């Protein structure tokens, strides 16, 4: 009887350890995220790369790295590239502005 009780107590503890509130919020934001004008042809090779490793993008003066739950201004700048990442920091889309 004690063996079953021990197993029953360990399962909820293990499940709680896997739930990170920040990650859960990120995954929820990613699920509802839509990016219009994604995958600019000149920078399509950035898709799938680690976002934090991108320092220079030819043709752009500034880079804005955005995770699904990132806040951003709504100003449009033609010299800036927006790099959208998933919750693991992998580039999933790019837009100008």
Residue 53 has which token pair? 């490793």
Q: Which fold has domain 21-96?
A: Trypsin Inhibitor V; Chain A (3.30.10)
Q: Please state the domain extents for the chain.
A: 21-96
At 18, the pLDDT band (50, 70, 90 cuts) reads low
Q: Which of 24-38, 60-74, 77-91 has the lowest mean pLDDT?
A: 24-38
Determine the pLDDT at residue 90. 93
Distances (CA, A) of 17 to 4, 26, 60, 88: 21, 17, 41, 18
Determine the pLDDT at residue 2. 41
Whole-prediction pTM = 0.71
Determine the pLDDT at residue 1. 43
Determine the pLDDT at residue 79. 93
At 5, the pLDDT band (50, 70, 90 cuts) reads very low
pLDDT tens for 44-58 read 888 899 999 999 998
């Amino acid at each position: 009887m004690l063996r079953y009780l021990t197993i029953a107590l360990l399962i909820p503890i293990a499940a709680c350890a896997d739930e990170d509130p920040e990650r859960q919020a990120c995954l929820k934001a990613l699920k509802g995220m839509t990016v219009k004008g994604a995958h600019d042809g000149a920078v399509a090779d950035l898709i799938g790369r680690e976002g934090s490793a991108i320092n220079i993008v030819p043709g752009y003066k500034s880079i804005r790295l955005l995770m699904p739950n990132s806040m951003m201004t709504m100003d449009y700048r033609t010299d800036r590239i927006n790099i959208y990442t998933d919750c693991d920091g992998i580039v999933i889309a790019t837009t100008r502005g």
